[in-house]
Amino acid sequence: MKVYTLNHRSIVATVFVCSLIIVDVESAALIEAAGETGSHEGGIDLTAISSYHQIVKWLGHISETYPSTVQIHDLGRTAENRSILVVEIGRAAEKPETSSPADARKQLVTRPSVFLDAGTHGREQITVTIALRLISKLIGAITRNETSQFTEVKWYITPLVNPDGYEYSRNIARSWRKNRSTHPGSSCTGVDINRNWRVHWDSDEPERVPKDTAGSAGNKILSSVAWLWSSFLHPENTVRQLGTMTPCSELYGGPSPFSEFESRSLSQFILNLTRVPAERLESCFSLHSMTGNQELLFPYGYKIDRVPDYEALNSLARDMTREMAKVAGRQYKYGGVAETLYQSSGLQCDWIYSVAGVNRTFVVEVADNFRIAPAGLISKAFGELWAALDVLLKA
């Protein structure tokens, strides 16, 4: 308690000020159950939204503190000169006990790897903190020499895909979604990074697909007819698709596929991961957030049709959502993007599935209010992600 005496124009008043401490008991319990402290050495709060500079500083700290466990890959600079960083986490590979390079190659054991990203859309700030929490927990498990499916995997985590949009949302316009790039001929700023991937870009009409995947003339005609029929049945999807062509729309897909540094650099990094010796990129996760619901999704997004291994992905998603519900009682809808959420083109998940060839590709839409994310909301969503990954890695 603090006591202040105020004297103004012969009026004397004594004011007693008590400090009020609000404890988020539910959040604290979830953090304790997850084996975390809520913050990590290096001065970052893993229950709150941090600035870009705080995140970069903390990532630098953990890479210096745990050099045998953590490596940082800088993919380059955005339109506003910020870095996109990928955090590589894993136990150091054991060196083969041989002096022969040929024998050493034979002794290499292929281990699975997982790629995960967050912060693709500026306003989805909660996903960035969730990814940072995941980084912290993985480092803790590995440095404590824990043995689990989590510590036997190589992780590649991009906690902030869109740093420009994130900072603009954090400081200026909370609901900002796109990046902050500009293009000739338009007075509007920004492109939706998740509409900018070179896969059925800007439309699911076949002529928009890269030539090597467009198919025959007959297939083009059939696909065009299917697109028109889909537009008739689902006019809301047509409106959404048209939005990807409008520069001032928050869904704008850009002037061309991979016109944006963020999508272009990430796609190249993911392709490189599929070629890493002694590693096998098995799964990709992309964290997003939405209001009013939570969902676990997989391809396709550009069309209602189901992917060839739909039954396997749907079964895995069902098992993951079942475990996710045990964390905080929240039910996640699951299924293909187009059939469960909405139809859209140029999506990252479709590109990873169809071009990079990673079948286990999922999009997690966590619940968000797009205001100030309370610690409890972050903790629940992180617990649900961890539960989903636990099922995935055991499958």
**pLDDT tens column, 122-138:** 999 999 999 999 999 99
What the chain holds in terms of domains, given with CATH numbers, is 25-94+104-181+256-394 (3.40.630.10)
pLDDT at 65 over 90: yes
Q: What is the mean pLDDT of residues 76-105?
A: 79
Q: Mean pLDDT across the chain, nearest whole number?
A: 83
Tokens of 1: 């308690």
Q: How far does the chain reach from its first CA to its final CA, in angstroms?
A: 55
pLDDT in tens, 217-255: 555 455 445 545 555 555 544 444 555 678 999 999 999
Instruction: Give DSSP secondary structure letters for 274-342.
Output: TT-TTEEEEEEEEEEEESS--EEEES-SSSSSPPTTHHHHHHHHHHHHHHHHHHHSPPPEEEEHHHHT-
pLDDT in tens, 262-275: 999 999 999 999 99
Query: Tokens 């989903």 — which residue?
Result: 388
Residue type, 108: L
Q: What pLDDT shows up at residue 150?
A: 97
Out of 36, 279, 295, 365, pick the active-site residue. Answer: 365
Q: What pLDDT shows up at residue 34?
A: 41
Q: What is the mean pLDDT of residues 95-103?
A: 56
What SS3 class is residue 244? coil
- CA 144/CA 9 separation, integer angstroms: 64
Q: What pLDDT shows up at residue 268?
A: 98
Q: How many other C-beta atoms lie within 10 A of the C-beta of residue 235?
A: 10
Q: Which of 130, 132, 114 is nearest to 59 (CA)?
A: 132
Query: Tokens 């076949």 — which residue?
Result: 206
Taking a C-beta distance cutoff of 8 angstroms, is the pair 131, 379 a contact? no
| Crossing angle for the helix pair 375-394 and 25-33, to the nearest 10 degrees | 30
Taking a C-beta distance cutoff of 8 angstroms, is the pair 254, 195 a contact? yes
Q: What is the dihedral of CA 285, 289, 293, 296, to 10 degrees?
A: -10
CA angle 172, 258, 282 (to 5 degrees): 100
Strand partners, 12: 7
Q: What is the mean pLDDT of residues 43-51?
A: 93
Q: Which of 72, 74, 159, 78 is nearest to 117 (CA)?
A: 159
pLDDT at 46 over 90: yes
pLDDT at 215 over 90: no
Name the residue with higher pLDDT: 222 or 177: 177
DSSP code for 136: H
pLDDT-derived band at 394, boundaries 50, 70, 90: very high
Q: What pLDDT shows up at residue 3?
A: 45
Q: What pLDDT shows up at residue 203?
A: 53
pLDDT-derived band at 373, boundaries 50, 70, 90: confident
pLDDT at 146 over 90: yes
Phi, psi of 134 (to 5 degrees): -65, -45
Tokens of 73: 């890959």
What SS3 class is residue 223? helix
pLDDT at 97 over 70: no
Clarify whether 36 is annotated catalytic.
Answer: no
- CA 285/CA 245 separation, integer angstroms: 26
Q: What is the mean pLDDT of residues 35-61?
A: 82
List all residues 6 or more positions away from 355 whose beta carbon is below 8 Å from its beta carbon. 198, 199, 267, 271
Taking a C-beta distance cutoff of 8 angstroms, is the pair 347, 336 a contact? no
C-alpha separations of 186 from 121, 164, 168, 240, 323 in Å: 21, 19, 19, 20, 46
pLDDT-derived band at 92, boundaries 50, 70, 90: confident
pLDDT in tens, 313-339: 999 999 999 999 999 999 999 999 999
Strand partners, 5: 14
List all residues 6 or more positions away from 210 whose beta carbon is below 8 Å from its beta carbon. 198, 199
pLDDT at 57 over 90: yes
pLDDT in tens, 27-43: 444 344 444 544 555 77
pLDDT at 6 over 50: no
pLDDT-derived band at 198, boundaries 50, 70, 90: very high
pLDDT-derived band at 201, boundaries 50, 70, 90: confident
Q: What is the mean pLDDT of residues 363-374?
A: 88
pLDDT-derived band at 211, boundaries 50, 70, 90: very low
pLDDT-derived band at 207, boundaries 50, 70, 90: very low
Q: What pLDDT shows up at residue 292?
A: 83
Taking a C-beta distance cutoff of 8 angstroms, is the pair 90, 142 a contact? yes
- CA 281/CA 283 separation, integer angstroms: 6
Name the residue with higher pLDDT: 66 or 32: 66
C-alpha separations of 157 from 95, 115, 360 in Å: 25, 6, 16
pLDDT at 191 over 70: yes
pTM: 0.82
Q: What is the mean pLDDT of residues 41-67?
A: 93
- CA 283/CA 267 separation, integer angstroms: 15
Name the residue with higher pLDDT: 212 or 177: 177
